[in-house]
Amino acid sequence: MIIRARAVVTMDGPPIENGAVAVSRNRIIDVGKFPEISARHSGQQLIDLGEQVMLPGLINGHCHLDYTCLRGQIPPKKSFADWIRAINAEKARLSTQDYVASIAEGFAEAKRFGTTTIANLTAFPELSARIDPPIRTLWFAELIDVRSPERANELVDLAVESLKPAANWGLAPHAPFTTSKNLYRRCKEVARRENVLLTTHLAESHEEMSMFRDGAGPLYEFMKEIGRDMSDCGDQTPLDRFLGTVRDSSTPKAFGARNDKKAVRNDAGWIVVHLNELAESDFELLETFRSKFHVVHSPRSHDYFAHSAFAFKRLRDLGFNICLGTDSLASNENLSLFAEMRAFRRGVPAVSPEEALEMVTVNGGRALGRPQILGRIRANYVADLIAIPCSGITDVFEEILAFEQPVQWIMVNGKT
């Protein structure tokens, strides 16, 4: 089929006025000016979207749909440790059925806002079999062993069993303060064996920095209280702790060499979420990386927690691939990546609307390990497309970022 629109934003150069995309099954096979596309693919069914701009479906690099039902339930807290206590109390009230409903509601909302790919962390990987996502989904099992480090391997293996039937999955050891070194190592082993992605929360809050660097603060006290082994605290940053865990002797080049495909798929493939708290020594370390992990920033969740400023420019200039995610609705108001882009630009106005859009398309595709098929409108990419009204009066990227309505036209994997 051929889909025509007033403008097509391919993420491969300027928007194409009076553009069209040819789609066969689930793939884009051609893109260009409408007259050329219709000449090259004559006799195909035509969908004319009229006065709209077509763009790649948006990619949410990080969220927890488990907690869609907690929207507005937890007011911001002074302490991050208190926030964790509050969400734990809310979680204790939820049943399996609540979680299934919450995840399904989250998928529907993400799709309404034009998201066609989502990296969804779930604390209940066994529930993935009960849900048929309406959008492209990478299921990540979120793993925490802070109360039971002796069960690290078992927890990982159970999660793998649950997620293996899913088309796309990965592992999410939660964060250095809740996840033992053994659990990180086991996740790494499995990721190498199964060729899947890894993601983790890192250096999110000032309290996490105080815990690891100073061996003090509310998060330190909380973790100590619940029985965590605190011997890794007092002389390192959260980044040091993470690298000490994932850069073991069996992979001396982790984050270093990225020359072969295997390295890309394995060690350099971490998706690191947050990275708000970095010491100068961390930046010195990051500068030495020949290849980089991917970074997800969640601007509205960041504002909700009033975290330290995210060092966008420094990280970008060091060559890190940075994408956006909504995080969960326990710390955000909705799952709109349009709103996320707007919030991001409020904090970093020097970023152009086009660069902000890259963060939820091209950069998201790279982070999720599918740069050859996700995030652009280009031949051989998957047919994940959205369209929104466009007046043509102002810059098309400005118009895209200003969009606040539910998305009316959406194609996922070649199906509208």
Give the residues lining the site for Zn ion (CB under 5 A): 327
CB of 243: closest distance to Zn ion in angstroms?
A: 20
* Token representation of residue 387: 């369209």
List Cβ neighbours of 94 (8 Å cut-off, separation of 6 or more): 69, 102
- Among all residues, whose Cβ is closest to Zn ion? 327
**What's the closest the beta carbon of residue 62 comes to Zn ion, in angstroms?**
6
The least CB distance from residue 99 to Zn ion, in Å, is 16
Separation between Cα atoms, residue 407 and residue 114, nearest integer Å = 5
Dist. CA 343–CA 336, nearest whole Å: 11
The dihedral of CA 107, 111, 112, 113: what is its sign? positive
* Nearest residue (CB) to Zn ion, 267 versus 327: 327
**Can you list the alpha helix ranges (DSSP code H) found in 113-258?**
152-163, 181-194, 206-209, 218-225, 238-246
Task: Tell the smallest beta-carbon distance from residue 273 to Zn ion (Å).
Answer: 6
- Cβ-based nearer residue to Zn ion, 240 or 327: 327
Instruction: Give 109 or 327: the residue with its C-beta nearer to Zn ion.
Output: 327
In the complex with Zn ion, which residue's Cβ is closer, 8 or 74?
74
For residues 40 and 86, the answer to whether their CB atoms sit within 8 Å is: no
SS (H, E, C) 243-260: HHHHCCCCCCCCCCCCCC
Could you tell me if 5 and 19 are in contact, meaning their C-beta atoms sit under 8 angstroms apart? yes
Q: Is 1 helix (H, G, I), strand (E, B) or coil?
A: coil
State in angstroms the smallest separation of the CB of 36 from Zn ion: 44
Q: How far is the CB of 307 from Zn ion (least distance, A)?
A: 13
Tell me, what amino acid is at 140?
Answer: F
Nearer CB in complex with Zn ion: 211/407: 211
Residues 316, 325: Cα–Cα separation, whole Å: 16
The nearer residue to Zn ion, 327 or 358, going by C-beta atoms, is 327
- Residue whose C-alpha is closest to residue 271's, from 59, 110, 119, 80: 119
Complex with Zn ion: residue 52 or 60, whichever CB lies closer: 60
Work out how close the CB of 385 gets to Zn ion at its nearest, in angstroms, rounded to a whole number: 28
On the CB side of 149, how many CA atoms lie within 13 Å of its CA? 15
